[in-house]
Amino acid sequence: MYQNDTIAAISTALGEGAIGIVRLSGPEAIPMANKVFKGKNLANVPTHTIHYGHVIDPKTNQVIDEVMTSVMKGPRSYTMENIVEINCHGGIIAVQRTLEVVLDQGARMAEPGEFTKRAFLNGRIDLSQAEAVMDLIQAKTDKAMNASMNQLQGSLSNKISALREEMLQTLAQVEVTIDYPEYDDVEEMSLTQLRETAESVKGQIQQLLQQASQGKLFREGINTAIIGRPNVGKSSLLNFLSGIDKAIVTDIAGTTRDTIEEFINIRGVPLKLIDTAGIRQTDELVEQIGVEKSRQVMEKADLVILILNQAQALNETDIELLELTKNQQRIILLNKSDLEPVLDREKLAEYCDDDSIIATSITEESGLDQLEAMIEKRFFGGQLQSADVNYLLNTRHTQLLKQAIEALDEVIQATEMALPVDLIQIDYTRAWDLLGEITGESVQDELLNKLFSQFCLGK
């Protein structure tokens, strides 16, 4: 065991809730809980049992709360240490008072993420699994949650371990051939083996990174730019979809000057919605800058919602925007459908597919269901099925994978130049180490502390 003290924290979100949990972990967890618990003698209960009773302040014998207390003895627990969880009634006071009396018994207040850190240090989970716990807590939507769950169950770890295993096997073979040079062409054989493995592993890492860029979407939201001429209803759409009056809406063309962002969730699809300044020719400096920004946002967007005002004829700007976005994921809204139609649908058909067009009236709230359904269908039915999101990589993972690719590239190059094998082995081993850092098989304390401090308290 790595630490001998016993830690405690409130493990549920602070606030009104049906229950709040105070969790203890460490060698003294059971005796400490026993001192503040009136009910069965926790020292004698079997592991993985739950007991009704009261939390009392041993100094005054005052009853603090009516509770259910569960006892999980190590190593079959989250941290692999003895754990006691006291389930208090929800609300802030009872839970905090319970934590106070537990700390009075000598428990130390846990640092954020310390329970999970112990699970890691005691060898129950590896680093990428620990990070998945963090993602799980922060998951914004169900889909992201599933991906975190997969990772928690070790899909990333398994993949990385398999890659390292593959590398190790080759390394072992190379060592053997070098130590027992029965053949003349030992050197050449080793070079071929090293290059083949380096190429294979590199390919698999690249695949992982590619899948991960899709995984990233689910954690950060799909960049969705609302684009169009001034006054077509862009800000009205942002306000409607986000359910708050975030952007100013007026009938003055050119109301929005800067981009406005809002994270929303449409039927399980997380979107980063970006309202932009209406695009038009203008001599006004601030508006010019805004328009320039709109164009940049449009270029970078994962999804473009292009709004046209169907109460007006298509003009040059509309056509320019249709042209500019034709290769992007986009949805075209014919807004203000409550007004007399003017826009020429046949002309519009020259610039886009019919099945990406939806007639809407934001003021009368019509057509917006269809918009939501289309977003849902595109992202869950189409390119981004949940199967693609097996791996959620964070920045740390991505960087390590990229560094590993660099090291492997050096290996590949060196084998092509037929450099001495023991020289090549240096880069090869470096790549192997870098991969190990993802699962925490070669990490330093400093990194660990930094990582785990990002967790919430009590986890």
Ligand X SMILES: Nc1nc2c(ncn2[C@@H]2O[C@H](COP(=O)(O)OP(=O)(O)OP(=O)(O)O)[C@@H](O)[C@H]2O)c(=O)[nH]1
Candidates 122, 128, 170, 361: give the one binding ligand X (CB under 6 A): 361
Regarding 339 and contact with ligand X (CB under 6 A), the answer is yes
Candidates 20, 113, 215, 230: give the one binding ligand X (CB under 6 A): 230
Regarding 236 and contact with ligand X (CB under 6 A), the answer is yes
Query: Measured between alpha carbons, how far is 235 from 323 in angstroms, rounded to an integer?
Result: 23
Residue 307 backbone dihedrals phi, psi, to 5 degrees: -100, 130
- Nearest approach in angstroms of CB 311 to ligand X is 7
Number of residues that bind ligand X (CB under 6 A): 24
Cβ–Cβ < 8 Å for 415, 174: no
Quick one: how many helices (H) and strands (E) in the chain? Answer: 15, 13
Regarding 305 and contact with ligand X (CB under 6 A), the answer is no
Cβ–Cβ < 8 Å for 348, 357: yes
- Work out the burial of residue 382: count CB atoms within 10 Å of its CB; fewer than 13 is exposed, 13-18 middle, 19 or more buried: exposed
Given the structure tokens 């950060």, which residue do they identify? 220
Query: Measured between alpha carbons, how far is 174 from 129 in angstroms, rounded to an integer?
Result: 32
Regarding 235 and contact with ligand X (CB under 6 A), the answer is yes
Candidates 50, 63, 253, 373: give the one binding ligand X (CB under 6 A): 253
Regarding 370 and contact with ligand X (CB under 6 A), the answer is no
| Nearest Cα residue to 278 out of 269, 288, 270 | 288
Stretch that binds ligand X, among 8-16, 109-117, 320-328, 358-366 (CB under 6 A): 358-366
Residue 264 corresponds to which tokens in the numbers above? 């929303």
Q: What is the dihedral of CA 76, 52, 113, 390, to 10 degrees?
A: 60
Residue 236 binding result from Mg ion, ligand X, none, given CB thresholds of 5 to 8 Å by partner type: ligand X
Q: Closest CB to Mg ion among 116 and 335?
A: 335
Regarding 87 and contact with ligand X (CB under 6 A), the answer is no
Angle between helices 421-439 and 155-179 (to 10 degrees): 160
The binding track of 221-250 with respect to Mg ion, each residue x by CB under 5 A or -, is -------------xx---------------
Q: Which of residues 190-229 bind ligand X (CB under 6 A)?
A: 228
Give me the residues that bind Mg ion (CB under 5 A), please. Answer: 234-235, 255-256
Binding residues: 23, 85, 124, 231-236, 250-256, 275-278, 459
Give me the residues that bind ligand X (CB under 6 A), please. Answer: 228, 230-236, 249-251, 253-256, 277-278, 335-336, 338-339, 361-363
